Structure 1
């Protein structure tokens, strides 16, 4: 990508505007995380409630430490293994992070994305970037620039096109703000991988206390416009629909499945179907993030 694109994007971020950019998970809708007015523009563009906190993206652990009041040894070890990468750590925030970012909470979710365009943008902007997924609230997350264009249109000032995102679903979110680590949102960094470093991790009960502490935790989220149902076999339903079967029309292993999931649902959503049926994926830690996204996307 030409240097001039990065310079333009970084200037927009510093000016309080919105830039969509690729990460390894999904495309983010980015604004200067230190500018309350810019952060409010994210919520306006997405139609997202201000009670849903945003993730702050940084380029390094050194940058992350500037915006948290505590950086425990556990955070250091997790970042050393999984950053840059799809793991968000929730820690007590400094006053520099405005309440608009955290929905008034005293903690902030922070991560270093594993994508060269995202890292270059953060470095050139010189500020941390708050960025949820670059789509209208509750809709499917975008895994390519065209998905962003279709969802947000002129609500975003610039889109950096980095092709398809390789991970395909949003980051794992882990809180280190309490006495014990708590898994707030599953993703492709599994509970087992985290527990190799932290020991036992509690898992947030959906809809329970603390559900508002992480992004993407609304009961209905990540949804196509077409009604989606989770099934254990081919459904007998009227109308025109598509059945996505594990290991046949969808990949058999979790990493390939996650990378294909949103792109497949975006494609089917454009076909004006009456329904999309998805076979429930296997149990197991490696599938937790995928099962979570499908459960939230299901409307039937």
Structure 2
């Protein structure tokens, strides 16, 4: 049976984080609040857990799962490098709603779907998410909804869609900003915006100089 914790209550928050860490380490799924929308997450290095996440969402391997991190050091360990502009972008916008697509560290043994040698990374600006990620390490996290449905902005909406497929729901209250993260591809010579989101393109352009857009 799923467990739900109201994180506005300090005691429940502490208990919920302990339970969520245990669930992630055990290969189970957890719903967590972020600074954009609620996410459904699993240990990034447990392929069966990532598969369960995709099944819970009704999503195929052709849409690989992004990875959330609790520290910049954790992000650096996952990639070949942040490239020419990556560190400046991290310094400017992390933690926050900017997802960076980088070349993955080829020594990693994980399976996030058909990633074509890349990984989408983000550090969310949310205390509950960061506390969880600092304990679990990198998590594969996608929006907490069934594929094709509206992203959940409350834990109740996530539970309504995902039900018992999730072991622990961390209820951080309604998301303050339901605008998704901006996705920026750093694997090409010129950074490319793949999704317009909460970080405006002009703010990114101020750092990288020039942007390619689809």
Give the structure-2-normalised TM-score: 0.91
2:50 is equivalent to residue 39 of structure 1: yes
Q: Using the TM superposition, give the Cα deviation of residue 73 of structure 1 relative to its aligned residue in structure 2, in angstroms.
A: 3.9
- Measured in 1, the distance between the counterparts of 2:178 and 2:22 equals 28
Q: Using the TM superposition, give the Cα deviation of residue 41 of structure 1 relative to its aligned residue in structure 2, in angstroms.
A: 0.6
Look up the match of 2:63.
52
Give RMSD over aligned pairs.
Answer: 1.1
Look up the match of 1:166.
176
Q: Using the TM superposition, give the Cα deviation of residue 102 of structure 1 relative to its aligned residue in structure 2, in angstroms.
A: 4.5
Look up the match of 2:108.
96
Look up the match of 1:187.
197
2:146 is equivalent to residue 144 of structure 1: no
Q: Figure out how many residues of one structure are paired with residues of the other and give that number.
A: 202
Look up the match of 2:3.
none
Look up the match of 1:120.
131
Detail structure 1 runs of 4+ shifted over 3 Å in the superposition: none
Q: Structure 2: any 5+ residue segments left out of the alignment?
A: 1-6
- Measured in 2, the distance between the counterparts of 1:75 and 1:169 equals 22
Residue in structure 2 matching 1:9, options 20, 23, 30: 20
2:213 is equivalent to residue 203 of structure 1: yes
Look up the match of 2:164.
154
Look up the match of 2:145.
135
Whether the 8 Å contact between 2:71 and 2:134 is mirrored in structure 1 is no
Give the structure-1-normalised TM-score: 0.66
Higher relative contact order (CA 8 A, sep 6+): 2
Question: What do the CA deviations read for 1:51-91 (whole angstroms, capped 9, x no partner)?
Answer: 00111000121110000011224111101110000000000
Q: Structure 1: any 5+ residue segments left out of the alignment?
A: 205-300
